[in-house]
Amino acid sequence: MKTTFSADAPANVVTHEARGKVLLVTIDHPPVNALSADVRRGLLAAVEAAEKDSAVEAVLLIGAGRNFIAGADIREFGKPPVPPMLPDVCHRIEACTKPVIAAIHGAALGGGLEVALAAHYRIAVEGAKLGLPEVQLGLLPGAGGTQRTPRLIGAQAALDLILSGRHASAKEALALGLIDRLGSSDDILAEGLAYAHELLAAQAPVRRTREAAALSDRAASLAAVNAARAETEKKSRGLFSPLKIVDAVQAAIEQPFEEGIKLERALFLQCIDSPQRAGLVHAFFAEREVLKAPETRTARPRAIESIGVVGGGTMGAGIAVAALDAGLPVTMIERDDASLARGRAHIEKVYDGLIAKGRMSADNKAARMARWTGSTSYDALAQADLVIEAVFEDIAVKQAVFAELDRVCKAGAVLATNTSYLDIDAIAASISRPADVIGLHFFSPANIMKLLEVVVPKQVSADVVATAFELAKMLRKTPVRAGVCDGFIGNRILAVYRSAADAMMEDGASPYQIDAAVRAFGFPMGPFQVVDLAGGDIGWAARKRRAPTRDPRARYVQIADRLCERGWFGQKTGRGFYLYEPGSRSGKPDPEVEAIIDAERERAGVKPRSFTDDEIIRRYMAAMVNEGANVVHEGIALRPLDVDVTFLYGYGFPRYRGGPMKFADMVGLPTILADIREFAEEDALFWKPSPLLVELVERGADFASLNQTA
């Protein structure tokens, strides 16, 4: 009979039953057996019971469902701690006087692996993933992981695992010494029981990881720590927890186990209290929440077994690569043979690059290319389940493509446009099947960038939206549901904070100072570097397009136009805001650009003033957050977290800050609103507080309060 040991646990999250001399302890806490308080209590109680029962000679820990244990319960972080604490549970497991065996399938991550390391023996089956991914949440392993792992597998291997947060396969875990045995079947229960009985038969002793000897070469271990520290200082700039990890592992080498555990705990608590932990945990949940768009709950996706791509330019080729990589057959349409050949060449270039870096074999390339077909006739799309148009950004051109798709595609085919800003409602309305039309806004390079804005026009049917989310999963993209407007979520907000940056530039900050301040905030690039990378001509075309509808009272900074008029489009022309040496992608400040800026300031009658980096960021972020609030207010984004994920995955927003809306919550919405009102004294038209921001401040609420409402 199964017994629950935790008297006050609301559910049987940890049960045990005797299997011969082995006490089988099962953690059954869906969805992923996270170590919430009930589980911790249940584990403690199970060990106590095993100690007391003389018929029990060994304990076998196993997870029900698809995983062993996915780690601490991330939802508990930031809340008052509830005993027993996980380090104490791990100590109790390790101190058990009867052998404890962890049988691992699926995820043994973070605290889950720490529980396994506290056990005396470990077996895993194929498909298991073992790792200490705490660093990705702004943390360090806080239940003995920084002390037991190096003692078991050595400082270098432990540092690699903990600093990267990567998952090791069962096979690698065996090679590292993280586990003792690799099961030969995927029946974790049978494998675990057999191993436990085998250990009993061999009278295997209790074997405590704290006494393991992989750190015995002290000099080599300290050298690994020093190398990791130097590397981390360079690579993890701005991050709080990685250097704490190095400190904790150093303590494992230099101090007794109990002292190391004390230090680990102190450092873990510092990490828990850091805003980076709050930002990273927000990102973890937000990227899962975006998948739950309403249509994915109410409608079933249509089948997607083949894809059509119209257009073989950079974007079309990137989309084709993403689809080919996902195992889908792709039919590419171009207007003539030469363009088609170029489209194919774009795809091959991506694969050849991977081959050159040793990341793909020629056979793999051949297998992918075998799924590619090209045609100059739309009729080749007759059987495609989903077609993505990636032609020139011009509504008439796009409508002509859609007329062809309407003519040739089978009933039920999903017809998608990759437009970045055009009116998808108008495209849909121009054909006979508007319910099949959707926006799939990929980001360049489309085979690499993770963001996919799923743009939902008025007439689209719910199953088409659900299909888009399914496609994102197949292509390993992160989909965010967006409404139709100029620029959707991301580019619409981008246009506004770019304007704020332009205004600061005209008012006296140099583009180089602005870029540096934005990089110091945590973006990989500043806004003017981004312009140079994307090509100044793209923004120039958009500005010309918007010119007729621009509010004549709105401030318009012409500096970028002056550069474009000279043909300075950025990296591809060798100069833009920066000067590029031939073949180099890192630009240098350009005195001629500074002279143009000076001339423009004079023309505009601006007396330049100086900006601190702090003011630059206040303005940049206030513009981003305010437009983010507008986008939520108008229903273009479902929730603030959808804006956050858009920026994390498509715009290089530093993940440890959680996204612009999370950042705003952490700064405090009253502060952001006060900034906007202060800036409005100079330009009331631009700095118009979003009604949503005003409302939230009046109610004393934050953006997070709107994140549950999709």
Q: Which is nearer to ligand 3H9, 110 or 308 (CB)?
A: 110
Q: What is the dihedral of CA 40, 41, 44, 46, to 10 degrees?
A: -110
C-alpha closest to that of 11 among 24, 23, 33, 21: 33
C-alpha to C-alpha distance for 619 and 626, rounded to whole angstroms:
10
What b-and-e string marks burial along 577-608, b requiring 16 or more CB atoms within 10 Å of the CB?
bbbbeeeeeebeebeebeebbeebbeeeeeee
**Nearest distance from residue 288's CB to ligand 3H9, in Å?**
4
Q: Are 133 and 110 in contact (CB under 8 A)?
A: yes
Query: Are the beta carbons of 87 and 105 closer than 8 angstroms?
Result: no
What's the token pair of residue 326?
């996902």
* Distance separating alpha carbons of residues 378 and 180, to the nearest angstrom: 58
Q: How far is the CB of 280 from ligand 3H9 (least distance, A)?
A: 10
For residue 311, the one-letter residue type is G
Q: Provide, rounded to whole angstroms, the least separation between the CB of residue 645 and ligand 3H9.
A: 13
58 vs 235: CA distance, rounded Å: 44
Q: Which residues, 6+ apart, have CB-to-CB distance to 684 below 8 Å?
A: none
DSSP for residue 689: P
What is the closest distance, in whole angstroms, from the C-beta atom of residue 292 to ligand 3H9 in the complex?
A: 7
Q: Which is nearer to ligand 3H9, 11 or 338 (CB)?
A: 11
Q: Which residues pair with 122 in a beta bridge?
A: 102
Indicate the residue among 31 and 205 with the shorter CB distance to ligand 3H9. Answer: 31
Rounded CA-CA distance 340/305 in Å is 22
User: Catalytic pick from 57, 94, 114, 295?
Assistant: 114
Q: Which residues contact 514 (CB under 8 A, 6 or more apart)?
A: 501, 504, 505, 526, 527, 528, 616, 620
Using CB under 6 A, list all residues that contact ligand 3H9: 31-32, 34, 67, 70-75, 86, 107, 109-111, 114, 133-134, 137, 139, 141-143, 145, 285, 288
* Nearest distance, CB of residue 684 and ligand 3H9, angstroms: 42
Using the minimum distance from each CB to ligand 3H9, give the nearer residue, 249 or 517.
249
- DSSP-assigned beta bridge partners for residue 72: 35
Residue 75 CB partners (closer than 8 Å, separation 6+): 34, 36
> Looking at residue 455, what DSSP letter applies?
E
Determine which one of 51, 76, 94, 134 is catalytic.
134
Nearer to ligand 3H9, 23 or 39 (CB): 39
The answer to whether 619 and 504 have CB atoms below 8 angstroms apart is yes
Amino acid at residue number 527: P
Q: E strand or H helix at 27, and its extent?
A: strand 22-27
d(CA 78, CA 70): 19
Q: Is 57 a catalytic residue?
A: no
> Is 114 one of the catalytic residues?
yes
* 31 versus 591: smaller Cβ distance to ligand 3H9: 31
Contact 181, 174 (CB under 8 A): yes
Q: How many secondary structure helices (H) and strands (E) does the chain include?
A: 29, 20
Q: Answer for the pair 677, 689: CB distance below 8 angstroms, yes or no.
A: yes
Cα–Cα distance between 642 and 481 in angstroms, integer?
A: 7
Closest contact distance (angstroms) between CB of 131 and ligand 3H9 is: 8
User: Could you tell me the CA-to-CA distances from 392 to 290, 400, 420, 421, 619 in Å, in that order?
Assistant: 29, 11, 11, 12, 34
Q: Which residues carry out catalysis?
A: 114, 134
